Amino acid sequence: MVNLDNYSGFDKAAILLQILGEQLAMPLFNSISESDMLKLRVRSRELQNTPTAVKKLIMEEYYFKMMSNQYRNKPEPDDVFKFIRDLNDEQIFYLLSKEEVKIIALAIEQLSPERQMKFLGRLDVALKNKVIIQIGNLNDIPLEAVVDIAKELENKSAFIPGPKEFSRGGGKSMATILSNLPESESKQHLEQIQTDDPELYSEIKKHYISFDDLISSLPEGIASEFWSNPDLDVDLMAKALKGYEKETVDKVIEFLPQKKQAMFSPIETPVAKREVESARSSILNIAKDKVSSGEWNLEDILGEGEFIE
């Protein structure tokens, strides 16, 4: 009697690759990494002398799983995993990240490919690889166990905080905090973050705009439109530009209408730091309003990786 107990899920996947051939099998493995795919190809060649009876049984398992998935994924009232699709991505990670590999694999198998990849992208590499391989080996879970797992997870999901009850911080939250700090203080924090955690710095800059960005990073067309705004007072601009090099100030002034250029007069005398920061904050708020209204998209106008430090 043929026994598949000696064949791991990875071995079964390798044999399936061998039976179907690369062209037919690739859609089954499009979510695994290139390195794992290479290992799968090597293992497939190693198992080329697998008995025909074993191959036949593995194919039967595959078809059974395929048909089971088609049935399981139908949006019917008795869909035992419907609750998990009603959770948001953060809640799903909160629910599953500490579960056993087999339970994680079974649960995320119920999600769309896009949501599966979002979840897998948050796991460490070792766990991610185990889960991916386990997804290909779910047929050994009895139906009763599947139902029990679904019920247990649903019970646990009742204790998950609601979508708006918690936050994990990240770049967007950091950007909000920095936006509410004085300019000099937020600049110091940004410089430190850039040194200590460049990845977090890049994420923050997707959601954060500074007065320096208005001066140096806007594309010419947007800069011209912004600085020629009739709501911008030239005296306020003179105070906000205090401390910048003459070359930088002249570049900004060139965007002003001729009449305002003639009216602009740089401030030669010392100005209190708080007054300068207040003036910059007033101008920056105009830009922030454009972002919040959707008129500006920070990633588009500043460009990923093209920020002036």
Domain end call among 72, 89, 109:
72
pLDDT band at 69 (very low <50, low <70, confident <90, very high): low
CATH number (domain holding residue 253): 1.10.220.30
Task: Report d(CA 51, CA 54) in Å as an integer.
Answer: 5
8 A C-beta contact, residue 208 and residue 178: yes
Between residues 306 and 146, the one the model is more confident about: 146
Answer yes or no: do 191 and 240 share one domain. no
- The whole domain housing 254 covers 209-309
Task: Report d(CA 137, CA 147) in Å as an integer.
Answer: 17
Answer yes or no: do 60 and 42 share one domain. yes
Answer yes or no: do 227 and 241 share one domain. yes
Task: Report d(CA 294, CA 288) in Å as an integer.
Answer: 10
Can you state the angle between helices 89-96 and 101-108, rounded to 10 degrees? 150
8 A C-beta contact, residue 115 and residue 84: no
Whole-model pTM: value is: 0.45
8 A C-beta contact, residue 163 and residue 89: no
8 A C-beta contact, residue 106 and residue 141: yes
Answer yes or no: do 27 and 62 share one domain. yes
8 A C-beta contact, residue 16 and residue 28: yes
Across 28-32, 170-174, 190-194, 266-270, the highest mean pLDDT is recorded for 266-270
The pLDDT of 220-225, averaged and rounded, is: 86
Answer yes or no: do 152 and 219 share one domain. no
pLDDT in tens, 274-290: 899 999 999 998 888 88
Cα-based distances in Å from 77 to 94, 108, 154: 25, 19, 15
CATH number (domain holding residue 200): 1.20.5
pLDDT at res. 104: 93
Nearest to 7 by CA among 140, 107, 141, 145: 140
Name which of 60-64, 66-70, 214-218 the model is least confident about. Answer: 66-70
Report the number of distinct structural domains present in the chain: 4
Task: Report d(CA 202, CA 305) in Å as an integer.
Answer: 7
pLDDT at res. 306: 43
pLDDT in tens, 109-141: 999 988 998 898 888 888 988 888 888 878 767
Domain end call among 96, 126, 161:
161
158: helix, strand or coil: coil
Task: Report d(CA 11, CA 44) in Å as an integer.
Answer: 8
Answer yes or no: do 224 and 304 share one domain. yes
pLDDT in tens, 29-56: 767 788 888 888 888 888 888 888 888 8
